[in-house]
Amino acid sequence: MYRTAVMLAVALLLAIGVVGCAKKIALNISSAVPATQAEVKTSKDNNDNPVVELKVQHLAPAQNLQPAKSAYVVWVELPGKSATNAGRLKLNDDLEGEIRIMTPYPRFRLVVTAEDDPLAGSPSSQRVIETEQIEID
Around Cβ 41, how many Cβ atoms within 10 Å? Answer: 14
Lowest average pLDDT, out of 6-10, 32-36, 42-46, 52-56, goes to: 6-10
- H/E stretch holding 13 reads helix 2-21
Cα–Cα distance between 59 and 70 in angstroms, integer?
A: 14
Mean pLDDT value of segment 25-36: 95
Residue-level pLDDT at 23? 67
Q: If pLDDT is split at 50, 70 and 90, which confidence band does 1 have? A: low
Is pTM, for the whole model, over 0.85? no
Q: What is the pLDDT of residues 60-79, one digit of tens each?
A: 999 999 999 999 999 999 99
Identify which has the larger pLDDT, 92 or 5.
Answer: 92
Residue-level pLDDT at 99? 98
The hierarchical CATH code for the domain 24-135 is: 2.60.40
Residues 6+ apart with CB under 8 A from 57: 36, 37, 38, 94, 95, 96
Q: Which of 29, 50, 51 is nearest to 38 (CA)?
A: 29
